[in-house]
């Protein structure tokens, strides 16, 4: 299979419905999904499968047991990290083909170790209401993926 236009990376995802929804999105726009464990569910989970509906055969999926395996496999890749703790808005990101868009778990995010690792810049999706800590993971991934596709001129289908 050829190299994907974009890569979505979920590190330690916990909620199968979110991952299923993200898998469906990646299938719809023909980009690769990387799941980095430990996962908070089985890939056979019925909620995961239901959220992805019958699109699973179209998902370009790669799995990794731990973050070190993933980083070794993709040394030198262009990573963009997404976190509610980041300072810079995602609209300031300059997306390019081959980028790896990395998101953390629903309850812990990417964590300080990854955010301070220097593997790539970190961005946030602005939240206007101070009482809201973060967005749903599948919503956040959708926002960023479509902005990346827009910047690369890939939405004129």
* Contact indicator for 30, 37 with CB cutoff of 8 Å: no
Output the pLDDT for position 52.
62
107 lies in some domain: yes
Q: Which domain holds residue 118?
A: 7-151
Q: Residues 109-153: pLDDT tens digits?
A: 999 999 999 999 999 999 999 999 999 999 999 999 999 999 999
95 lies in some domain: yes
* Percentage, residues of the chain above pLDDT 90: 83
How many other CB atoms are there within 10 angstroms of residue 136's CB atom?
13
Q: How do beta strands 60-64 and 32-36 pair? A: parallel
pLDDT greater than 80 at residue 50 = no
Output the pLDDT for position 155.
87
136 lies in some domain: yes
Higher-scoring residue by pLDDT: 94, 157: 94
20-41 burial: b if 16+ Cβ within 10 Å, else e: bbbbbbbbebebbbbbbbebbb
CA nearest neighbour of 102 among 119, 116, 82: 82
Q: What is the CATH number for 60?
A: 3.40.1280.10
Kindly report the pTM of this predicted structure: 0.94
Q: Domain tally for the chain?
A: 1
65 lies in some domain: yes
99 lies in some domain: yes
2 lies in some domain: no
48 lies in some domain: yes
């Amino acid at each position: 299979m050829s190299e994907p236009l974009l890569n979505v990376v979920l590190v330690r995802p916990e909620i199968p419905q979110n991952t299923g929804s993200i898998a469906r999105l990646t299938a719809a726009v023909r980009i690769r999904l990387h799941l980095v464990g430990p996962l908070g569910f089985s890939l056979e989970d019925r909620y995961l499968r239901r959220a992805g509906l019958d699109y699973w055969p179209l998902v370009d999926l790669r799995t990794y047991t731990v973050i070190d395996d993933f980083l070794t496999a993709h040394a030198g890749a262009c990573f963009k990290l997404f976190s509610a703790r980041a300072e810079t808005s995602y609209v300031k990101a300059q997306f390019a083909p081959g980028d790896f868009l990395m998101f953390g778990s629903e309850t812990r995010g990417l964590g300080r170790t990854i955010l301070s690792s220097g593997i790539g810049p970190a961005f946030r999706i602005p939240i206007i209401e101070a009482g809201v800590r973060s967005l749903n993971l599948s919503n956040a991934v959708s926002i960023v993926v479509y902005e990346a596709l827009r910047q690369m001129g890939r939405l004129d289908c």
